[in-house]
Amino acid sequence: MDYLVVKWLHILSSTFLFGTGIGSAWYMLFANISRDVRAIAVVSRYVVVADWLFTATTIIAQPTTGFYMIHLAGYPMHSRWIAWSLVLYLIAAACWIPVVWLQMRLRDLSREAAGTGAPLPPVYWKFFRAWVILGVPAFFAFVAIFWLMVAKPA
């Protein structure tokens, strides 16, 4: 029973992590495509909140529950699928750390522009491009991790 509870928590946590990432990316992307500074300010504010509330907690829960399941199931840590999952997870986390900073800057810049009625400054768009670029490898890393977790190839 212990294993099933931990597995459920692991799957639930991965759903929150991936779902928050996809949802945040979707709304942030389309708010920015609209070029509506007020909409961008509102969406970026909530993206930052969601990132701290869901992503920050699940980024800790994932390895915690994952390592515990490995222990409970008796999988050897040197299994290739585990090693690759860890490498991909570290890549995704390495992308997420600067994304958090970028999202806070995007939030602040858009809030300031919306408050003054000014257009978004060029640095906003530079940060937004970096945000998109960092999101691509993180997305594919998580897709690959999902496959590795399900398939567990030798």
Tens digits of residue pLDDT in 126-145: 999 999 999 999 999 999 99
Q: Tokens 């969406």 correspond to what residue?
A: 43
Section 116-124 average pLDDT: 98
CA-to-CA separations, 110 to 39, 100, 102, 120, 123, in angstroms, rounded: 9, 15, 12, 6, 11
Q: What is the pLDDT of residues 4-46, one digit of tens each?
A: 999 999 999 999 999 999 999 999 999 999 999 999 999 999 9
In this prediction, residue 154 carries a pLDDT of 74
pTM (2 decimals)?
A: 0.90
The DSSP symbol for 103 reads H
Residue 58 has pLDDT above 90, yes or no: yes
Percent above pLDDT 70 for the chain: 99
